[in-house]
Amino acid sequence: MIFENALDFFLRMDTAKMLAYFWPFFLLDMTRYLLLDVVVISIYSVKNWFQRDKIERARRQLYSEKPLVSLIIPGKNEGKHIPRLAESLARQTYKNIEIVIVDDGSDDDTEEICRKLEQEGKIDRFIRNEVRGGKASAANTAMRFSHGKYIVHIDADSHLAFDSVETILLPFYMDPNIGAVGGDVRVANTGDAFVTRLQGIEYMKAISTGRTVSSELGILRIIAGAHGAFRRDILNRLHGWDVGPGLDGDITLKIRKLGFRVVHEPHAVCYTNVPKTFRALAKQRFRWDRSMVRFRVRKHRDILLMNSNFSILNFLASAENIFFNLVLDFKWWIYIIQIVLFNPSVLEYIFLINLILYMLANYLEFLVACALLHSSMRRRDFFLVLYIPLVPIYTGIYLRIVRTYAYIMEFLHGASYMDKWNPWKVSRVVKREKL
């Protein structure tokens, strides 16, 4: 009944009316996420096909040069994950690696576990900081005591596909102007729960497709800490990471500011474990979203200013992100107010039609992701297609509420200065000096 009425309502509209009722979908999301993705991924795939020889040349060059690559893994209380990670690193196709683990003041059995692995030669160096200093300082410790020409940052609770290190290094051998390469982060525990399946779809869409598109457009703004490769000479110039939160995005932007390209490599796969409950997921996203406001709007304000260092791509990389994440987040509330105030009588039709539109869009996007990633997808990843009808509620309602709340908190209180990410002594200095 309601479906028939809704369909009838939709079909009897003219273009102007349709835009008036569904402008967020047709004007913003469809253009940005759907049309752009289809076009860019198609171009990317065609380009890659023509570049087959170039990729093979890069691979041969990598293996003839065989540079030492430092895999650095900073973390606190991550000891339980390390044996498995070390194992996945031992099986890498690229062998000239050193594994450096930094323990940021763990208070569990991380030290015993890692010292043993160090003695057994399964990791090359284990450095323990007795006092916690925060994630940036741990990454910087690892950087200071590693020797590789390239540094690959890996999160302890993730593991790499067997050819991941090799694959993430290839872009450096295709373009000498590339300063950092982001690896593809996929959900390891998709099978664990309903919420992990939804995240599995989200990661494919936002990270695999989203970052490949950004990368192709030259506006990639983040290299995930879970799996990112950096040139050491550039990290040395930057003196490593700055105080978090948001240190991954921060270092990416700094590399861009130095004039280097930053790209995403969708086939350098890293599997990570995601929160298994909606509650835990809300907490994680709250932290991530706050850091977005902080480091982009506050710290890298200069990117948006038209000064002598101005670069249009850097401007776009930041502006796009701020616009789509921040401004568009509020557009939704404007949209809701508009519908409630002016069209209360057709509220349920509009809701239903939006749901269907976004569902169809998600199917198409999943198709795009599969086209891009099929060679490195697991069998069970294809079955995620069954959950797509629920994705619009997940991203459109659940995540949006969390995000809005985070933005408001950050703007009102600058709450992330007092985050749990960093020890209190660091947060205090950062807040005092308004970094």
For binding to another protein (CB under 8 A), which residues are involved? 105, 115, 118, 125-134, 136-138, 140-141, 144-145, 239-243, 425-426, 429-430, 433, 435
* Closer to another protein by Cβ: residue 161 or 243: 243
* Closer to another protein by Cβ: residue 126 or 203: 126
Residue 426, token pair as written in the block: 């660091």
Contacts of 312 by beta carbon, 8 Å cutoff, 6+ apart: none
Pick the closest to residue 245 from 418, 3, 387 (CA basis).
418
* Closer to another protein by Cβ: residue 97 or 204: 97
Pick the closest to residue 209 from 434, 362, 401 (CA basis).
362
CB 87 to another protein: min, Å: 22
Pick the closest to residue 201 from 180, 187, 211 (CA basis).
187
Residue 248, token pair as written in the block: 């991954």
Residue with tokens 């309502």: 9
* Closer to another protein by Cβ: residue 111 or 192: 111
Strands 69-75 and 150-154 come out as: parallel
CB 99 to another protein: min, Å: 14
Strands 97-104 and 227-231 come out as: unpaired
CB 253 to another protein: min, Å: 16
> Rounded CA gap, 164 and 267, in Å?
8
Question: For the residues of 110-153, what is the DSSP string, one character each?
Answer: HHHHHHHHHHTTSSSEEEEESS---HHHHHHHHHHT---SEEEE
* Closer to another protein by Cβ: residue 126 or 366: 126
CA dihedral angle for residue 125, residue 130, residue 134, residue 139, rounded to 10 degrees: -10
> Rounded CA gap, 279 and 56, in Å?
45
CB 256 to another protein: min, Å: 19
CB 69 to another protein: min, Å: 17
Rounded to the nearest 5 degrees, what angle is found at the Cα of 233, between the Cα atoms of 230 and 208?
15
> Rounded CA gap, 365 and 26, in Å?
15
* Closer to another protein by Cβ: residue 138 or 372: 138
CB 421 to another protein: min, Å: 12
CB 125 to another protein: min, Å: 7
CB 411 to another protein: min, Å: 23
* Closer to another protein by Cβ: residue 183 or 240: 240
* Closer to another protein by Cβ: residue 53 or 130: 130
CB 423 to another protein: min, Å: 9
> Rounded CA gap, 46 and 28, in Å?
26
Q: What share of the chain is helix, strand, coil (3-state, %, to 5)?
A: 65, 15, 20
* Closer to another protein by Cβ: residue 22 or 241: 241
Contacts of 205 by beta carbon, 8 Å cutoff, 6+ apart: 362, 365, 366, 369
